[in-house]
Amino acid sequence: MLTIWGRLNSHNVKKVVWLAEELRLNYQRHDVGCAFGMDDAYSAKNPNALIPTIEDGDVVLWESNAILRFLAARHGGDALWPADPVQRALADRWMDWQFGYAEAQRPAFHGLVRRSPEQRDPAAIEQATVTCNRMMKVLDAALSLQPWLSGAEFGLGDIPMGVYAHTFFALGLAREPLPHASSWYERLKTRPGFAANVMIPLT
């Protein structure tokens, strides 16, 4: 049984839960982080005081994208995380790229979702929105050449940015048409693990 610690309204936790469902793993999730706090037992597993953390048999692991790679490699065979180094690297780069995107989107997410209107910084939200649109155009151009960020098939490379793209579209941050990114997002919505765990109200 896989154990996942982390509140589900966290982007980084959503990634892990979505993958667990793609892999049809038996798992239990415990709410940790923000209002749920972190006890000493949790801090002993993850010295960063961040979520998510998993325990899978003999392994305790933190860092969401490392968790994705580990679970796919251990439980997924070749399907979501191809052994071929070229295919793998072309998908993997989107997983690293996501951390830069997350930095760009954070002021918009926190400003619009986690702050009251009086606490908002409109200039920071505007700057974040401009940067996110610029980055999403890069993603849109990639998806004009292939159906998935992972290549011809859905895979691990789609999961981190899939989670952040939901926030981008759900917050209405798009300033201009992103036809390929939009149709990729529509296809993600048909995946049960995405619909159930990523497309939840933003809080």
Ligand X SMILES: N[C@@H](CCC(=O)N[C@@H](CS)C(=O)NCC(=O)O)C(=O)O
Inter-residue contact 51 to 6 (CB < 8 Å): yes
Number of residues that bind ligand X (CB under 6 A): 11
Cα maximum dimension of the chain: 51
**Binding of ligand X at residue 51 (CB under 6 A)?**
yes
Q: Does 174 contact ligand X by CB under 6 A?
A: no
Q: Does 197 bind ligand X (CB under 6 A)?
A: no
For 5, list phi and psi in degrees, rounded to 5: -105, 130
**Closer to ligand X by Cβ: residue 102 or 147:** 102
Residue 28 CB, nearest approach to ligand X (Å): 19
Choice from 22, 23, 42, 64 touching ligand X (CB under 6 A): 64
Instruction: Supply the minimum distance, in Å, between the C-beta of residue 123 and ligand X.
Output: 24
Strand partners, 28: 3
The arrangement of strands across the sheet holding 59-62 comes to 27-30, 2-5, 53-56, 59-62
Distance of closest approach, residue 141 Cβ to ligand X, in angstroms: 25
Q: Which of residues 7-26 bind ligand X (CB under 6 A)?
A: 10-12
Record the tokens describing residue 32, joined without a space: 């940790």
Q: Does 34 bind ligand X (CB under 6 A)?
A: yes
Residue nearest ligand X (C-beta atom): 33
Options 4, 20, 29, 33; binder of ligand X; rule CB under 6 A: 33
Per DSSP (E only), the strands in 12-159 are 27-30, 53-56, 59-62
Q: Which stretch binds ligand X (CB under 6 A): 47-55, 68-76, 109-117, 138-146?
A: 47-55
Q: CA nearest 83: which of 37, 92, 29?
A: 92
Q: CA-CA distance, 195 to 178, in Å (whole number)?
A: 21
Q: How far is the CB of 180 from ligand X (least distance, A)?
A: 26
* Six token digits for residue 197: 């765990």
> Which residues of the chain form contacts with ligand X (CB under 6 A)?
10-12, 33-34, 50-52, 63-65
